[in-house]
Structure 1
Amino acid sequence: MSGKKHFIQDRAALLLVSANAFLALVAVVLVLLKVNATRGTANYIVSYRASLGIDGYTQGSVWDILNFVFAALLILSLGVLLGYRTYNIQRGLSLVVLSLTIPLLVLVIIVSNALLFLR
């Protein structure tokens, strides 16, 4: 039996990929449920500019909010792809890449829910 594992056979890598996939799924489902609750007819707050004072909230359409779904899927796919590609170079580097994808997905969840809560 070969002493070298593949990416798919490494339990730690698969655990991190599973955690990333779960967080991306949570981000997608939460955004789509909140958008579906309003049927996409409302204007959404998409940014806040502190320099504008009370009028600092910028409104946008449903497509601006759906960018959070695309961002979560892009972060997931790039994180897994980079983790897979770096596994042959060094296992530890691959696990670091997969681990650093988790805070990015958590940040997407927090920011998207904060903006959708302000709506």
Structure 2
Amino acid sequence: KTKTHSSQTKLQFPINQIHHLLHKNNYTKQINTKTPIYLTTILKYLTTKILKLTNNTTHNNKKTHIIPHHLQLTIHNNKKLNKLLNKITITQNNILPNIQTILLPKKT
């Protein structure tokens, strides 16, 4: 029975798909066979870290479901994650952070 790279390394993330994306987007001319495995491990670590912290945020707010806003709060409140992910946009959040007061409607 043929095993995929993901099952051989016990990672749930699709190593072959990441390898394909690295080739497709022409990040470099050659890709070592271990590169997608390493990158997948990093993605798994970051995902696990973010979800654990978000779970704490959700629990502290006495909520039972994680919503996009909880993810944004978690990233924003963690110095290292905020530095790493400060340019991402979390869709379906309905809350825009750091709106300049000049852009807000004037109170009458």
- Answer whether TM exceeds 0.5 for this pair: no
What TM-score do you get using the length of structure 2 for normalisation? 0.34
Of Structure 1 and Structure 2, which has the larger fraction of its residues in helix?
1
Structure number with greater CO (CA < 8 Å, separation at least 6) is 1
